[in-house]
Amino acid sequence: MKRKDKKLLATVLLVAGFTLYLTVNSPQTAHAMHIMEGFLPVGWAVFWWVAFIPFFALGVRKLAIITRETPELKLMLGVAGAFTFVLSALKIPSVTGSSSHPTGTGLGSVMFGPLPMSVLGSVVLLFQAVLLAHGGITTLGANAFSMAVCGPFAGYAVYRWLMNSTGKQKLAIFFAAAIADLFTYIVTSLQLAMAFPAESGGILASFAKFGGIFAVTQIPLAISEGLLTVLIWNWLLSY
């Protein structure tokens, strides 16, 4: 075998190994989409913090207005936040084996609206960093931007759009949840690609690589979460 071929073979094996590794049912791989502490270069870490803070501030302002009128709602929001955390720690079945980390942001943004969800979602992320060591503090801005801002807003937009155009609630719920998940994954991949552009091909090539690796777990998860959310919605209506 030529040296080059050998190298190529090793690489393919490596990629296959990692892919297999990520699909194996292990609770840790589930949180693969939380960018770890210290992973992003300093410029990007700061950039995503700056991008995230306005949404957070708007969300807090909105919550402040709501809770000033009815202080009990504060308790409700707190309990709902705990519920969201538990949801994100729940193992959900996926086609590739069961795995945790449904984001629950789709359901949440339909129920509470995307802005309140951006506050609850980012607090959930902070708890995940502090109580589970998933994600990190310097990368909280980036993670919150993708999971607590982009995901909920995309899910909510899709929900509104589908409700207006088709009126089919189940369909809208399915896509709201699945798109919230997918969009989170795409934004995270993009964040990584922008921070680490490939030598040849730049951001686009890098995006393909990061997106490709995480697609293995995230796309089936998005579909599962969509299905799950529809079921939950049905139960909630019948309850």
Partner 1 sequence: MIRTIDTLSYRNALSSISPLWKCGFAAVAIALAYASHPPVQLLLTGWMLLWTIGYARIPLKYYAALFGSALLFFAASLPALAIELREGSLAWSDSGLHTAVQVLFRATACLSAMLFVILTTPMAQLFQVLRKIGIPSLVIELMLIMYRFLFLLLETAREMTMAQRARGGHSGFKRKLRDTAMLVTRLFAATMQRYHGLARGLTARGFTDDIRLAPYEGASLSRPRRAEICIGLPLLAAVEIWLRWEGFVWPL
And the tokens for 35? 């960018």
Alpha-carbon span 28 to 18, nearest angstrom: 14
Binds partner 1 (CB under 8 A): choice among 48, 55, 85, 174: 85
Quick note: the x/- pattern for partner 1 over 4-43, rule CB under 8 A, is ---xx--xx-xx--x--xx-----xx-xx-xxxxxx--x-
Please report, as residue ranges, which positions from 39 to 68 form the binding site for partner 1 (by CB under 8 A). 39, 42, 60, 63-64, 67-68
Bridge partners of 63, per DSSP, are none
Tell me if 155 sits within 8 A of 108, measured CB to CB: no
Min dist CB 164 to partner 1, Å, is 26
Binds partner 1 (CB under 8 A): choice among 51, 126, 157, 171: 126
Q: Where are the alpha helices (DSSP H) in the chain?
A: 3-23, 27-30, 42-69, 72-89, 105-112, 114-132, 140-144, 151-165, 169-195, 202-238
* Length of the chain in terms of residues written: 239
70's CB contacts (< 8 A; 6+ apart) are none
Tell me if 12 sits within 8 A of 200, measured CB to CB: no
Quick note: the x/- pattern for partner 1 over 89-118, rule CB under 8 A, is xxxxx-x--x--------------------
Nearer to partner 1, 51 or 223 (CB): 223
Nearer to partner 1, 96 or 157 (CB): 96
Size of the site for partner 1 (CB under 8 A): 85
Q: Does 209 bind partner 1 (CB under 8 A)?
A: yes
Please report, as residue ranges, which positions from 156 to 185 form the binding site for partner 1 (by CB under 8 A). none
Alpha-carbon span 184 to 181, nearest angstrom: 5
Binds partner 1 (CB under 8 A): choice among 49, 83, 171, 215: 83
